[in-house]
Amino acid sequence: MKRMQRLSMNALASVVLAMATLCIVPPALAQSDADFVAAKAAYERGDWRRLDALVPALSGHLLERYVRYWQLKSRLDDASPEMVQTFIASYPDGPLAERLRGEWLKTLGKRGDWDRFAIEYRQSATEDTELACYGVQYRYQRDGVGALAGVGALAGVGALAGARPLWFTGSSTPDACEPLFAALIARGELSAADRRERFRLATAAGNTRLAHAIAADMPPQDRISERELVAIDRDPLRAVSKGQFAWKTTAGRELALYALDRAARKDAAEAHDAWLKWRTHLPEADRNYGHARVAYYAARQLHPSANEWYREGGDVALTSEQRTWRVRAALRAGAWGDVKAAIDALPLDEQQEPGWQYWRARALAALGATDEARAIYTSLASSVGYYGLLAADALGGPALTNVPSNPVVADELALAAFGARPEVKRALKLAELDARGESVREWNFAIRGFDDDGLLLAAEYARRGGLYDRAINTAERTTTRHDFSLRYLTPFRTQFTTASQDQGIDEEILYGIARQESRFVADIVSSAGAIGLMQLMPGTARWVAKQLAVRDYSPARIANVDLNTQFGAFYFKYWQERLGRLPALAAAAYNAGPSRAQAWRPATGSLEGAIWVETIPFNETRDYVKRVLANTMVYTHALGRPYVALTQRLGVVTPRGADFVATSGDQ
């Protein structure tokens, strides 16, 4: 009897869960959903009158809090504290209260209303730079700004010091930070050297507007005129070739290094040739800095002399990007001693990253320390990540023979209880109404603090509801208990199998691409305009339609799963065949365009595929290729496909061919 009762309860829970995910919408609710979509559009285009008119129609709607948030945010500068506090008190069970509190604090900071700021402010490690600067302003005025002597004045100075780390960035900072920086400069706590350091950081970041502003605000003897900087920006290679700088002044030397950086960004080899003619005019520290900048750009441009030029740099502090490209330059040159030395020079936390652990092991093996290398491979090989798979190959493979998957048996009542939570209902409704960013924030609020079992339960709920991106991302958060069937979902199996067979490409590769591109959200549109599971640009889809002679094609069909998978499969296969039949090059072409993938091949000689991937100049594309290939390996295992080692898939990259011609399909 108890068993029958238990089965009945589970069956009831299944019905509840199914009803929660069905798209059966009463007419009145459908209209209010349409009103919500209209309210969101009104908010995004700043049509406050239309937004206000729609608010009453959404009273009692599941997402009413969102339209009230938008309405309040649209007039936050004029809002009363009572209005803000009422909203926060009314909707504490979701992400909007904290978001509004942050925006309200910035408004209070702009007003200089520090009494009210003090009531709401709670310093957080996750606060953005603008709020961090308002927090320092608040503590600075609270602890003694304006005091002439005594403890208050010292406390104020201590508070002000909290702004100093925010100065050292190549990015522009919010207006909230400017009075703090001005105070630090006035007190001598940001020296001329500190200001030159930020000038260099801005230059390295390509933020010329900020660099110009800092140069113009330097002390008179160190100031660089706007006219001088603009002349260099117009033709930096000409400036470094002429080498006509005021070598005896700090400003002249900084201008020379600015020109060198701007020139090397365009053509490191030409900049290096000019640099050799006048580098002796600079003090040793500046000379080493110049060497490091040229070598960094040479490494990014895959110049064969980059490793040698790094050696010329001497003892100079490198940025994080310069350090990692120091390793990559050595890899590209096949200089394993330099690879090991460059990795050993990384900060300890960076040395422990799987990528640098793997390459250190490779360097050790090449240098004869095989036992030490094998120990590192063994520690990495239990991972299903890209470097774990490479490490398994180094140990003789095959990888993924014992994937540590430990699924949770779904309890229907627990699933139904999770789905009944208001924040989960809001997340689903927001996803249904194409408010994807808001949906993700609600979902993340719902699962905050969950242990592994709770995360896997939530991931299973998302999978059943068709929220595949949420299912994957939630399953990936677990720390000790993992379910790889949730991390590597296989939805739309019929369409992927058909596309694979029709276009003659491995199904596991298609799944690997789609998982990285869209997380299987069929109607997703990227900020760049790419559409659907395989993230096709409209121009690319139009070109593929012509190649496949799809006569009834129209742009409105791009998101169609059958068409999208077919087009994506054709496009990937097309470029794989024209780029050495290597999936790594095809993946790079899919992400960054075939012309770039071709240009990144060696000019002469051949290059191990793993080294080619590691030295892709675009961070996004390099990460993308690694993830697609690792995904492909896991899907090979999940789909029961023939095993092909990752090292074999990576292959050997041959020199770029003269017969390569980009087409209109180059996205």
Residue-wise pLDDT tens digits, 577-600: 999 999 999 999 999 999 999 999
Considering only residues 97 and 144, tell me which one the structure prediction assigns the higher pLDDT: 97
Same domain, 553 and 635: yes
Same domain, 101 and 242: no
Q: Residue 555 falls within a domain, yes or no? A: yes
Same domain, 68 and 196: no
Instruction: Write down the residue that tokens 């120091």 correspond to.
Output: 326
pLDDT tens by residue, 533-577? 999 999 999 999 999 999 999 999 999 999 999 999 999 999 999
DSSP E strands in 440-514: the ranges are none
Which of 264, 286, 317 is at the close of a domain? 317
pLDDT tens by residue, 293-340? 999 999 999 999 999 999 988 778 899 999 999 999 999 999 999 999
CA 93 to chain centre: 28
Same domain, 508 and 642: yes
For range 89-110, the mean pLDDT:
95
Distance, in Å, from the CA atom of 622 to the CA atom of 527, rounded to the nearest integer, reads 20
Instruction: Write the CATH number for 129.
Output: 1.25.40
Which of 142, 174, 208 is at the close of a domain? 142
Q: Residue 397 falls within a domain, yes or no? A: no
Considering only residues 136 and 151, tell me which one the structure prediction assigns the higher pLDDT: 136
Instruction: Write the CATH number for 599.
Output: 1.10.530.10
Question: Which two structure tokens, joined as six digits, stand for 448?
Answer: 């905050």
The pLDDT score that the predictor gives to residue 663 is 56
Q: Residue 334 falls within a domain, yes or no? A: no
pTM of the model: 0.91
The pLDDT score that the predictor gives to residue 202 is 98
Q: Which of 295, 242, 290 is nearest to 268 (CA)?
A: 295
Pairing verdict, β 607-608 and 652-653: antiparallel
The pLDDT score that the predictor gives to residue 661 is 53
Q: Are 582 and 626 in contact (CB under 8 A)?
A: no
Same domain, 508 and 633: yes
Q: Are 179 and 159 in contact (CB under 8 A)?
A: no
Question: Is 229's pLDDT higher than 70?
Answer: yes
Q: Cα separations (Å) of 464 from 14, 19, 20, 77, 220?
A: 11, 12, 11, 43, 67
Q: Residue 417 falls within a domain, yes or no? A: no
Provide the number of structural domains found in the chain: 3
Question: Is 60's pLDDT higher than 60?
Answer: yes
The pLDDT score that the predictor gives to residue 16 is 37
Same domain, 130 and 235: no
pLDDT tens by residue, 426-446? 999 999 999 999 999 999 999
pLDDT tens by residue, 481-522? 999 999 999 999 999 999 999 999 999 999 999 999 999 999
Contact residues for 344 (Cβ-Cβ < 8 A; gap 6+):
351, 360
- If pLDDT is split at 50, 70 and 90, which confidence band does 145 have? low
The pLDDT score that the predictor gives to residue 26 is 56
Range of the domain at 515: 493-653
Q: Which of 69, 615, 548 is nearest to 334 (CA)?
A: 615
**Mean pLDDT (the chain, rounded):** 91
The pLDDT score that the predictor gives to residue 28 is 60
Tell me which of 194-208, 358-372, 385-399 is least confident.
385-399
Q: Residue 149 falls within a domain, yes or no? A: no
* DSSP states along 76-134: GGG--HHHHHHHHHH--SSTHHHHHHHHHHHHHHHHT-HHHHHHH----TT--HHHHHH
**Residues paired with residue 607 on neighbouring β-strands, in sequence order:** 653
Same domain, 498 and 617: yes
Same domain, 540 and 646: yes
Residue 385, Cβ density class (10 Å: 0-12 exposed, 13-18 middle, ≥19 buried): middle
Distance, in Å, from the CA atom of 20 to the CA atom of 205, rounded to the nearest integer, reads 49
Percent of the chain with pLDDT over 70: 92
Question: Which two structure tokens, joined as six digits, stand for 170?
Answer: 């190549």
Q: Residue 76 falls within a domain, yes or no? A: yes
Q: How many CA atoms lie within 13 A of 666 on its CB side?
A: 13
Return phi, psi of residue 388, to 5°: -65, -40
The pLDDT score that the predictor gives to residue 156 is 57
Same domain, 256 and 131: no
- If pLDDT is split at 50, 70 and 90, which confidence band does 102 have? very high
The pLDDT score that the predictor gives to residue 660 is 58
Same domain, 225 and 121: no
- If pLDDT is split at 50, 70 and 90, which confidence band does 27 have? low
Same domain, 122 and 229: no
Question: Is 149's pLDDT higher than 50?
Answer: no
pLDDT tens by residue, 40-54? 999 999 999 999 999
Q: Residue 301 falls within a domain, yes or no? A: yes
- If pLDDT is split at 50, 70 and 90, which confidence band does 5 have? very low
Which of 142, 169, 200 is at the close of a domain? 142
Q: How many CB atoms lie within 10 A of CB 101?
A: 18
Q: Residue 261 falls within a domain, yes or no? A: yes
Question: Is 208's pLDDT higher than 70?
Answer: yes
Same domain, 507 and 593: yes
